[in-house]
């Protein structure tokens, strides 16, 4: 019986030193640029981080996890700070002005996406922020109309130039 209580105590203590939270950033509005963000809960010192961040795109978007989308923490607060956009690859890591940034940018189709973030906290009360931004991708018809308008303006300018001669 004592062994069960000891095992339960060890499991309970181990659970305090790990984070496996899921953060839902929500749905990005496809009618214009949109940004969603959230802070994590505060972590205890020496906590393993294994967080999932999810977001949904309702339309194809030029999505950025770069200047507009970052997972940032003070340099040295999280060891081995890393993240992966599931199905697309690792986020690039950079350190500037004492802040660690993880970033990714590219085109994404409509759907639900997950970013997995990992690391080990080295100080208490560490938090990081996750942000996702998206811009709508122009439809092919938009490019066609642009090219057609440019051709029309060019034809009118050419015709006027001939009349002036």
Q: What is the pLDDT of residue 148?
A: 64
Mean pLDDT check: name the lowest of 29-43, 79-93, 105-119: 29-43
147 sits in which H/E element: helix 140-164
For residues 61 and 66, the model is more confident at 61
CA dist., res. 64 & res. 88, Å (int): 13
What is the radius of gyration, based on Cα positions, of the chain? 24
CA dist., res. 117 & res. 20, Å (int): 10
Mean pLDDT score of the chain: 77
- Read off the pLDDT band of 143 (50, 70, 90): low
Q: What is the pLDDT of residue 7?
A: 45
Asked if 27 contacts 35 with a C-beta cutoff of 8 angstroms, the reply is: no
Q: What is the pLDDT of residue 120?
A: 95
Q: What is the pLDDT of residue 64?
A: 53
Left if phi > 0, otherwise alpha if psi is -120 to 50, otherwise beta: which for 49? beta
Cα dihedral: 73, 74, 80, 82 (round 10):
30
Q: What is the pLDDT of residue 6?
A: 47
Give tens-digit pLDDT for 42-57. 999 999 999 999 999 8
CA dist., res. 121 & res. 144, Å (int): 51
């Amino acid at each position: 019986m004592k062994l069960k209580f000891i095992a339960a105590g060890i499991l309970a203590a181990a659970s305090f030193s790990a984070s496996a939270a899921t953060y839902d950033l929500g749905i990005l509005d496809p009618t214009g640029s949109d940004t969603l963000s959230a802070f994590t809960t505060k972590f205890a010192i020496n906590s393993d981080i294994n967080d999932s961040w999810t977001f949904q795109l309702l339309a194809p978007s030029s999505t950025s996890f770069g200047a507009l989308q970052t997972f940032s923490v003070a340099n040295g607060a999280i060891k081995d700070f890393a993240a992966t956009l599931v199905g697309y690859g690792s986020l690039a890591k950079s350190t500037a002005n004492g802040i660690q940034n993880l970033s990714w940018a590219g085109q994404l189709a409509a759907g639900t996406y997950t970013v997995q973030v990992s690391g080990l906290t080295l100080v208490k009360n560490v938090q990081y922020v996750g942000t996702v931004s998206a811009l709508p991708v122009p439809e092919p018809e938009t490019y066609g109309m642009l090219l057609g308008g440019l051709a029309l303006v060019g034809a009118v300018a050419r015709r006027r130039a001939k009349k002036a001669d």
